[in-house]
Structure 1
Amino acid sequence: MWWWIVAAVAAAAATLWYWLMICPQKYWLKRGVKPRTSGFLLGDNLGIFLGRQSLVEMVEVVYKSCPNTRYSGTYQFFRPSLLVKDPDLIKQITVKDFDHFLDHRSLIPEDSEPLWSKNLFALTGKAWRDMRSTLSPAFTSSKMKHIFTLISQNGEQFVNHFLKKDEKLITVEMKDIFTRFTNDIIASAAFGIECDSLSNRNNEFYLMGKETTNFSGFRKIFSFFLIMLIPKVAKLLKMTMFSQEVNNFFTTIVKSSIRSREQLGIVRPDMIHLLLEARKNGLKHEETQPAQDTGFATVQESEIHKDPKNAKAEITDQDMTSQALIFFFAGFESVSAVMCFMAHELAVNPEVQERLIREIDETLEGCKSGVTYEALLGMKYMDMVVSETMRKWPNPVVDRICTKAYTIEPKLPHEKPVHLKVNDAVWIPVFGIHRDPEYYPEPDKFDPERFNDENKVNINPYTYMPFGAGPRNCIGSRFALLEIKALFFYVLSHFEIVPVEKTQIPLVLSKKKLNMTAENGFWLGLKRRSKV
């Protein structure tokens, strides 16, 4: 008799296993979508989980795995995602039919990380639309011009630290010094706090930034995937992305800043001030956009965010803390990463750096008392170099979640209608597209001339997406571009960036971290320029 019981239990277990583990891997086949053969259970994340592949490498592999298709199926563990590669289809999903794809995938459940769930990236549906429209005027060109003063001050502080060393060649790890620079800018421009993280290396603000953006090591990666995929289990195990210490630190800083400003009438041209103005009186878009913008990579704000009728969000102290935290999160890690890759490319492409330095010197000659906002944004070659850096080293992937049932109609002979259901995920493999020779000949070559006046007009906007696409693009593109350009302006005014013994050529990406970074660090030299 007991054999029957054992057999029944085994059959039930096998059925459950098939239903939970095997069926999801057939999700795209059943819908007529060609899937990539992926690692069992872990899906396309197998190489990342085992430390054999970086996120960038995984994205490039899945992008190339199904050639001559507009889309293909991929799996993140056992969760299916539709990988969309065709520029026209990307435009359809992110712009024309945006109402069907309003949201990002929720990385962290609200009850697991309340502070995270209130930020602009994590908000969904109407809550996101209202908050985006409320905050949108805070990131326009005119507001960035005011914040440029704070960025410029930090740029001077940064370069003066190295000028004081009075050495001809200073060997530095770029990720270390650039995260300290972006940390100080965000502390100043977002939180109203003055830092000097190069001199005071262990200041609390910087240490909290490191803790917030650290995604290295098996435990962090495991926690991230567990929280994202099985949030109930993660909650049971009391796993969180941010420690209580981090939450308390940023909450205290923002609340303290708000109280002191309201009580003492302090006005400072930073993000807290703009958020307070949005809370009190609301902010309005300029009637006309200035002719000069932060660069080719700048994403333009959708008209739906400019309509004051959509700006209905009430901004609480927690909302302000959440926006400041995501501002910090993006700036500390993402912007410093772009700076690292740009420094590396300038070091290994000296002819590009020489031309950029000539433009900087010419710009300085035309400025009587330091570089101005208008002069910095008027530098064409600077913009070409930054644009090419973000082409070659972009954020690897952009995601959207289907919020209303949607059908992708067939266009190619082998296609049939693909019916996407609510909560189906769409992946846009930005890194794969930016490295596709169909769009960018010799894609591994660093060539700023792709973005000269003659060539950039021929670039399809949906093959160049360093800040995403459509109404859900990155709200902070102007700020990011401004601080990148300012940093290199100040550095190259006094130094050349050169390879040193520890420089890894060619650069190899780390397989041990989720974020895109160099395997052995970004070791380069700051060589003091000899000016005539």
Structure 2
Amino acid sequence: MILEILLFLLTTLVGYFIYSYTQMNQFFKRRGVKHFPGVPFFGNMYDTTFLKKHFLDEIQVIHDAFPDEKYVGFMEFTMPVLLIRDPELIKSITVKDFDHFTDHREFFSEEADPLFAGSLLLMKGERWREMRTTLSPAFTASKMKLMLPLIVENSDNIIQYLHDHQSEIIEVDDLMRRYTNDVIASAGFGLKINSLEDRDNEFFKIGNNVLNFNLKQRVLFIVSTLFPNLTKKLGVRLFPEKTYNFFKNIVTSTMEYRTRENVERPDMIQLLMEAKGDWSPDEITGQVFIFFAAGFDTTASVLVMAIHELAINPEVQERLYQECRQLKEDKGLTFDSLSELKYLDSVLNETLRKWSPAIFMDRTCVKTYELPPPREGGQSYTLKPGDVIYNMVNTIHMDPNHYPDPHKFDPERFSEENKHKIKPCTFSPFGGGPRLCIGMRFAMMELKVLIFQIMLNFTIVKTEKTMDPIKLKPHSFNIKALNGTWVKFQKRE
């Protein structure tokens, strides 16, 4: 009896695999969309799922295989997704026809997952617009000026640490995460933390695990991709209860203390407390949480890759040093003088071109929309509500049609003389259209301050452990060098 049951289950499973494989490969074929045949159940995600390749490498192969297509097919497990690779079409989707694509893809219900699903990132429709309007004042020039001293204080901690460890080869990733952790703790939550001294503080430990998914979270993510309605009904959460309680307790206790003691501070919690609108504690917590989750890993990643590129491109580093030195002598570092660091802008933009944490801009169709044919002589494609598309970012950044010799690190692409040559929607590290990253200006300020300070104090030295050229560590989303970023910081005379 047991053998018969096992045989039945095995036959059913094999039958499902064959059926799903057939359906998967027929889906795009029937619609005239070019694609790579997927693996049963895993689609085009097999190598990413088992960490054989980085997700970016997976989609880069598909992007490069069909250079004349406006969009191509991609199977994310068993879910069909269109990869939009034509800049003009991306412009239509994200700007001109934004009302058809107002929402990001939904994974978990807001009732079950108020932190993640209830954040600005995943809010929908009118609630998203209201929250966006509420949060926008947090990132005006006047608010940025108030936050600059908080960033400088944390960058000073990094500089002091590097002075104390000059003779060492340093793995930069951990160091940069401690910096971004402390900046966001201060600017978002009003907490003063020095993760270089208190290395095991709870804020850093929890933050460090937010986007470094464990096996259970990886499985949940896959299940939510395959069966989104089921995970919503079951009330599945992506993060453990400890994470929710930690952030909720910080926000609630901070709001109670400030109300009771009449305390004000230039951070996001303060802004949300003063904002118009009836926002619940969970909603407020969700916004501060996503500010942390988005800023912690992505900003650290850009810093790490910028430092890596400067180490293996000493001529770029020297020119950047001269610009920073000149600014210090002429004006010093202020909010206004930061904008005068044009070459630093170019260096960071070139880092974001090659190593953007974004990878793609996902959108869910909310109103029926007809895409033009993927090629001349092809058939149009009708998107229906609920269909998901990925507007490509990194693969377009690395397309030689838009950026000649794309693997070369060349900040001159973004110089005052050359930046007009960049085609619209071929550089989108912070997204595009009304859903453009709300924290972009804050992130750029955070990046500039630390790179400026490092340039003035140290030469970043390539070592035998510094990977050149850079290859990515296999991961679903995080951008990291395969063997880490190892450099020395040599004190300038």
**Structural mapping, 1:467-486, within 5 Å:** 467-486=430-449
Task: For residue 21 of structure 1, report the CA deviation from its aligned partner.
Answer: 5.2
Q: Does 1:384 align with 2:346?
A: yes
Q: Does 1:346 align with 2:344?
A: no
Counterpart Cα distance in 1 of 2:41 and 2:13 = 16
SS at match of 1:190: helix
Match of 2:3 in 1: none
Greater alpha carbon shift after TM alignment, 501-510 vs 66-75: 501-510
Counterpart Cα distance in 2 of 1:513 and 1:400 = 18
SS at match of 1:504: coil
Match of 2:417 in 1: 454
Q: Does 1:240 align with 2:237?
A: yes
Are the counterparts in 2 of residues 59 and 431 from structure 1 also a CA contact under 8 Å?
Answer: no
Match of 2:355 in 1: 393
Task: For residue 512 of structure 1, report the CA deviation from its aligned partner.
Answer: 4.6
**Structural mapping, 1:123-134, within 5 Å:** 123-134=123-134
Counterpart Cα distance in 2 of 1:471 and 1:237 = 32
Counterpart Cα distance in 2 of 1:158 and 1:107 = 37
Task: For residue 314 of structure 1, report the CA deviation from its aligned partner.
Answer: 2.6
1:438 pairs, out of 393, 398, 401, with 401
Tell me how many residue pairs correspond in the alignment: 486
Distance 1:513 1:404, change over 3 A: closer
1:325 pairs, out of 289, 300, 325, with 289
Matched to 2:456, the amino acid is S
**Structural mapping, 1:304-323, within 5 Å:** 313-323=277-287
**Structural mapping, 1:156-195, within 5 Å:** 156-163=156-163, 165=164, 168-195=166-193
Match of 1:310 in 2: none
Are the counterparts in 1 of residues 49 and 476 from structure 2 also a CA contact under 8 Å?
Answer: no
**Structural mapping, 1:124-523, within 5 Å:** 124-163=124-163, 165=164, 168-215=166-213, 218-231=215-228, 240-278=237-275, 282=276, 313-367=277-331, 370-394=332-356, 395-410=358-373, 412-512=375-475, 514-523=477-486
Matched to 1:382, the amino acid is L
Counterpart Cα distance in 1 of 2:84 and 2:120 = 24
Distance 1:10 1:240, change over 3 A: closer
Matched to 1:426, the amino acid is I
Task: For residue 505 of structure 1, report the CA deviation from its aligned partner.
Answer: 2.0
Distance 1:522 1:239, change over 3 A: farther
**Structural mapping, 1:41-56, within 5 Å:** 41-56=41-56
Are the counterparts in 2 of residues 169 and 528 from structure 1 also a CA contact under 8 Å?
Answer: no
Distance 1:43 1:14, change over 3 A: closer
CA offsets 1:266-315 (integer angstroms, 9 cap, x no match): 1111111121221xxx4xxxxxxxxxxxxxxxxxxxxxxxxxxxxxx532
Matched to 1:229, the amino acid is L
Greater alpha carbon shift after TM alignment, 221-230 vs 179-188: 221-230
Matched to 1:487, the amino acid is L
Are the counterparts in 2 of residues 190 and 271 from structure 1 also a CA contact under 8 Å?
Answer: yes
Match of 2:5 in 1: none
**Structural mapping, 1:14-25, within 5 Å:** 22-25=22-25
**Percent of pairs identical after alignment?**
39
Greater alpha carbon shift after TM alignment, 236-245 vs 217-226: 236-245
Counterpart Cα distance in 2 of 1:213 and 1:175 = 14
Matched to 2:310, the amino acid is L
**Structural mapping, 1:35-74, within 5 Å:** 35-74=35-74
TM-score (norm 1): 0.87
Counterpart Cα distance in 1 of 2:101 and 2:235 = 31
Task: For residue 240 of structure 1, report the CA deviation from its aligned partner.
Answer: 3.5
Task: For residue 40 of structure 1, report the CA deviation from its aligned partner.
Answer: 2.5
CA RMSD in angstroms, aligned pairs only: 2.3
CA offsets 1:386-435 (integer angstroms, 9 cap, x no match): 11110111121111110000011348422222111111111122111000
Task: For residue 30 of structure 1, report the CA deviation from its aligned partner.
Answer: 2.0
Counterpart Cα distance in 2 of 1:493 and 1:265 = 40
Are the counterparts in 2 of residues 59 and 397 from structure 1 also a CA contact under 8 Å?
Answer: no
Counterpart Cα distance in 2 of 1:359 and 1:173 = 26
Distance 1:411 1:175, change over 3 A: closer
Counterpart Cα distance in 1 of 2:23 and 2:264 = 58
Task: For residue 13 of structure 1, report the CA deviation from its aligned partner.
Answer: 8.4
Q: Extract structure 1 runs of 4+ deviating beyond 4 A.
A: 8-21, 231-239
TM-score (norm 2): 0.93
Matched to 2:42, the amino acid is L
Matched to 1:64, the amino acid is D
Counterpart Cα distance in 1 of 2:81 and 2:194 = 43
Are the counterparts in 1 of residues 24 and 38 from structure 2 also a CA contact under 8 Å?
Answer: no
Are the counterparts in 2 of residues 360 and 492 from structure 1 also a CA contact under 8 Å?
Answer: yes
Distance 1:148 1:10, change over 3 A: closer
CA offsets 1:471-509 (integer angstroms, 9 cap, x no match): 111111001101000011111211111112322222221
Counterpart Cα distance in 1 of 2:47 and 2:374 = 33
Greater alpha carbon shift after TM alignment, 244-253 vs 109-118: 109-118
Distance 1:516 1:168, change over 3 A: closer
Task: For residue 265 of structure 1, report the CA deviation from its aligned partner.
Answer: 1.1
Matched to 2:353, the amino acid is R
SS at match of 1:475: coil
Greater alpha carbon shift after TM alignment, 479-488 vs 261-270: 261-270
CA offsets 1:366-388 (integer angstroms, 9 cap, x no match): 23xx5111111211111010111
Task: For residue 226 of structure 1, report the CA deviation from its aligned partner.
Answer: 1.6
Counterpart Cα distance in 2 of 1:78 and 1:411 = 22
Distance 1:170 1:528, change over 3 A: farther
- Unaligned segments of structure 2, at least 5 residues: 1-7
Distance 1:41 1:137, change over 3 A: same
**Structural mapping, 1:67-86, within 5 Å:** 67-86=67-86
Are the counterparts in 2 of residues 401 and 423 from structure 1 also a CA contact under 8 Å?
Answer: yes
SS at match of 1:355: helix
Task: For residue 169 of structure 1, report the CA deviation from its aligned partner.
Answer: 3.1
Counterpart Cα distance in 2 of 1:350 and 1:320 = 44
Are the counterparts in 2 of residues 161 and 199 from structure 1 also a CA contact under 8 Å?
Answer: no
Distance 1:14 1:504, change over 3 A: closer
